[in-house]
Structure 1
Amino acid sequence: MTTALPLPRAGSGKRSRRLVALLDLLSSGETVSLHRIVDELAVSVATARRDLADLEDQGLLTRTHGGARIAAAAVEVPVRLRAGTSHRTKQLIARRAATFLPQGPYAVAIGGGTTAAEVARALVFRGELTIVTNSLTTAGEIGSRPNLRVLVTGGIVRPNSFELVGVLAENTFSALNVGTAFLGADGLSAAGGVTTHDEIEARTNAAMVGNAQRTVVVADSSKIGRVTLARVADLAGVHDVVTDSGAPGEELERIRACGPRVHVVAV
């Protein structure tokens, strides 16, 4: 019998932010020394070594003599670490996005990602609402609400995001018509459009927005101006973007020029 690898104890927002900062520091692919990690993150040697050990256990990095480098397969931060970062900002973005929905019977699609999950939480007290999602995290949180009708797609589970992706998920989304699709993003820019780290996830998300009357992208300021591997949608197909006041103003203007309405929440 195999034993599951231990997950990092990233329960606090402070530690989650530190682990994400550590992965960002290693993102260039070069080996980073332990001394630099200690200096950059302002932590003790013991703390740095503990964090490195936790992340190595998950296959996100490889420790070397005197330092560490990013693992070849680690292209995105797992959702369990991202959930603790910028939580208040994501709540404000989600609450603004939730105000776009009309009253009365309505159907929405909600994709994966921590900001999209906050949109679902902002809608838990709505009545006459149908929510279609491919996020196991979101479905688990809102599925027990008697006032909501929750539909979950089939598909293959992506370990990093707990999303269902692939043909089964795409077919479910393609068979349904929804009023609004709430789409998270790993990158959002005028040049790249809406992008994500995984090409299969990108195709699933494209199917989600394909039959939506309105597409709303929810993305905190760290995603603005960023381009990742796989394109989900061109900005011409996005109706609204909701982000926070930390986003670069010049890039927001370029995004507006591509067509979407841009809504900025103050943080």
Structure 2
Amino acid sequence: MTGAAQEPGARTHRWSAMLDMLAATGRLGVTEAAERLGVSEATIRRDFGELARRRLVTRQHGGIVAASVAYELPYRYRASQDDEDLARIAERVADLVEPGQVIGLNGGTTTTACARAVTAREGLLEELTIVTNALNIAAEVVLRPGVRCVSLGGVARPESFEVTGPLAMQALGQLWLDTAVVGVTGLSALEGATCDLEDEAALIRLMIDRAKQVVVATNAAKLGRRRFASICAAHQVTHLVTTEPEGDAAQAARGELDELSALGVSVHVV
């Protein structure tokens, strides 16, 4: 087993990818996982053993199967399983979480990766509480020993596994959060955090109102964008975890990061 394969970040990335593969196929073999992830079969067997110990999967001869009722992830989740940017964002978000905290997460590919990184981090699990409106996040988190999972009720949206509406809002309104980890589809210093759907924005907005600190986790492509529904003003964001801007829009994105920093947002580029 190489040193790189033993690193916590690399291991968490592998576990996240394995769980995505498992959700898509229902079963995952040692040889297949080793080939797809580029590590030895011995490493995969150790990973499988640890995932089984944490009750995330069930061991079978030559592989693993889902520990809970299998479900088919929407393409938006399956397509992100090898996204290294998501893995880096998720690892940095996990660094911002402290043991025993109550963490709120909305749905999406980025927050799903963050939930996995947080609940896979050694030393964070004891008395950790996860509050989420995403059914797929709740289905995974509930299996983590030592983690209390609070799943908000409401009307589920099949394309994202998120629940919204009055039931979810009523339940969330009775809770206090230490940290809200939210994914957005647009963020700018002038127009704040935004997304595409008003009911989703309303729930994230309440999640932010109930939290001591707010971590926005999104890639650099979302910087400078304004979407339909307003979530919160930029100055309400405590931390922004994002990727290094690239391409033609890199200069504009770096300008947004400077402006967000000037507003008091702690910017983490991974």
Question: TM-score, normalising length from structure 1?
Answer: 0.67
Equivalent residue for 1:93? 89
More helix by share: 2
Give the aligned residue type for 1:208.
M
Is 1:124 the counterpart of 2:119 in the alignment? yes
Q: C-alpha offsets along residues 104-130 of structure 1, whole Å, 9 cap, x if unaligned?
A: x22111111111111110122322101
- Matched with 1:256 is 261
Alignment-derived partner of residue 245 in structure 1: 244
- In structure 2, relative to structure 1, the CA distance for the partners of 1:186 and 1:79 (3 Å cut) is farther
- Would you say the 8 A contact 2:138–2:149 is kept in 1? yes
SS in structure 2 opposite 1:112? coil
CA contact under 8 A between 2:130 and 2:141: conserved in structure 1?
Answer: no
1:185-224 equivalence runs, <5 A: 185-224=184-223
Question: Which residue does 1:60 correspond to in 2?
Answer: none
Deviations 1:142-182 (A, max 9, x none): 21112211000001112321101111111111110111010
What is the distance in 2 between the residues matched to 1:181 and 1:102?
13
- In structure 2, the gaps of 5 or more residues are 1-19, 22-72
d(CA) in 1 for partners of 2:192 and 2:110?
18
Instruction: List per-residue Cα deviations over 1:4-25 (Å, max 9, x = no partner).
Output: xxxxxxx99xxxxxxxxxxxxx
- Per-residue CA deviation, residues 84-123 of structure 1 (Å, 9 max, x unaligned), is 24721011101101111223x2211111111111111012
Task: Report the CA distance between 1:140 and its aligned residue.
Answer: 1.4
Structure 1 residue 249, shift from structure 2 partner: 1.0
Equivalent AA in structure 2 for residue 97 of structure 1: V
State the Cα RMSD in Å.
1.9
Matched residues, number? 189
Q: What secondary structure does 2:119 align onto?
A: coil
Letter paired with 1:171: Q
What pairs with 1:141-152 in structure 2 (closer than 5 Å)? 141-152=140-151
Percentage of pairs with the same residue: 35
Residues 243, 264 of structure 1: 8 Å contact kept: yes
**Consecutive unaligned residues in structure 1, runs of 5 or more:** 1-10, 13-77
Q: Would the aligned equivalents of 1:133 and 1:153 in 2 still touch at CA under 8 Å?
A: yes
CA distance in 1: counterparts of 2:98 and 2:224, whole angstroms: 30
Aligned-pair distance for 1:192? 1.8
Larger radius of gyration: 1
- Cα 1:83–1:245 change in 2 (3 A) is farther
Alpha-carbon deviation of 1:83? 4.5
Deviation at 1:229, TM superposition (A): 0.3
Match of 2:108 in 1: 113
Structure 1 runs of 4+ off > 2 angstroms? 78-83
Residue pair 1:128, 1:147 contacting (<8 A) in 2 also: yes
Distance change >3 Å, CA 170–CA 188, structure 1 → 2: same
After TM superposition, the score normalised by the length of structure 2 is 0.66
